[in-house]
Amino acid sequence: MQDNNFNNEEGSIGIGAMIVFIALILVAAVASAVIIQTGEKLQQNAQQSGDDTQREISGKITINSAFVVDNAGADSAMRLYVESAPGSGVLATSDIVYQITCENAGAYQFLSSTFSNGDGTADANEVYLMSDPNDVAGTAILTMSPGQNYMIDIVVGGAAGADCDIGDLGVNGAMTLWIHVQGGGSSYETIYISSTDVGTLLI
């Protein structure tokens, strides 16, 4: 009987140790799963942040300067001199959108269009190479390449009191200009009107 009791006690201790061992394995497995899942989530977030940053850098427009080219009525316009930002690739002008907001006639005004309608014809709101900015009968630029300077005349006039007419806004007036690249970054400038005279520097 004594030998049987001794064996039973050893068997009980062995079963208890096995239960503890299995419990430790289960805890370790759960902890490993949590650590692996957390690591994968952090890697995905880092990858997403990297991709977003790459898109932001690889497509962006730099605004070098802006001038008044017409100061009254439906033809009121400003001329922008722009280039693709460092690190940008070749950008399609039809994928570049500008937005202009202002307060005119006591109301919020909003204008928006692309840098090109994609047909290559020479008209308002089309981009041209700086090397031939006065060739209004020429072909508009459909893509913007790194290292090149471009110009675009943006019409801000329209229906009286329902636009951002430079003459209506007057001296000390202001407009907000955004330029967005589809799938890329955005540029932002606040345009202050120090004078409505043609040729006045706005930026």
Burial class (CB in 10 A: 0-12, 13-18, 19+), 186: middle
pLDDT of residue 137: 47
Of all helices (H) and strands (E), which one includes residue 178?
A: strand 174-181
Give phi and psi for 157, each to the nearest 5: -85, 170
Q: What is the mean pLDDT of each run of 10 residues along the chain (203 residues)?
A: 54 74 87 87 78 67 91 87 85 90 90 76 61 55 85 84 87 93 88 92 88
pLDDT of residue 183: 83
- CA torsion sign for 115, 145, 122, 190 is positive
3-state SS, residue 140: coil
Please tell me the distance from the alpha carbon of residue 110 to that of residue 67, in angstroms, as a whole number. Answer: 20
DSSP annotation of 133? T
